[in-house]
Amino acid sequence: GFGYGDINFFTGRDTSLRSGAKALAFSDGHALQVLDYSQDPFAKTPSDRFVKLLISDAQLMDLMRYIDASAALDATGQPHSIANAEANSGYFFVAQGRYSMFSNCNTWAGEALTAAGLPISKTWGLTASGVYRQARDLAKIQQRLLRP
């Protein structure tokens, strides 16, 4: 799994209300989160909380290139890791871009899907529900096209 957010609030360094509000207007930086799954990530997730989208191998490669490009590199060309403030929260890296109210985790996820060639509109991508609704509608179309 992957995520994107403010370097302080998202990584758990400072989860205060003040830090969350500051992230939306004057973020100190941005972080990319990488989660590894040792078990099925959907096993305990209610079915109305995720959408399965079909993508080709080429689209998956485009998605991975987008995620790779999101990581800021250090002087040696390696991603710059960030120490975790919370246990079992994956791995964090300094990210490219600028986190704000209008460039947030939801817009990052929508742009990732767009990079994979999926028709996700930025207009409705500022909120999780906006991205989710578009992904859900696309999944329904994909499923209809697969039916004989």
**pTM for the full model?**
0.86
> What is the rounded CA–CA span in Å between residue 35 and residue 42?
13
What letter does residue 78 receive in the DSSP assignment? S
What CA–CA distance (Å, rounded) separates 74 from 51?
Answer: 35
Q: Which token pair is 46?
A: 């209610």
In tens, the pLDDT along 60-119 reads 999 999 999 999 999 999 999 998 777 777 889 999 988 888 889 999 999 999 999 999
Q: Are 35 and 11 in contact (CB under 8 A)?
A: no
Tell me the three state secondary structure of residue 68.
helix
Q: Is the dihedral of CA 117, 118, 122, 127 positive or negative?
A: negative
CA distance 77 to 60: 23
Q: What pLDDT, on the 0 to 100 scale, is given for residue 128?
A: 87
The neighbouring-strand residues paired with 73 are 79
Strand partners, 117: none
Cβ atoms of residues 124 and 133 within 8 Å: yes
**Is pLDDT larger for residue 76 or for residue 123?**
76
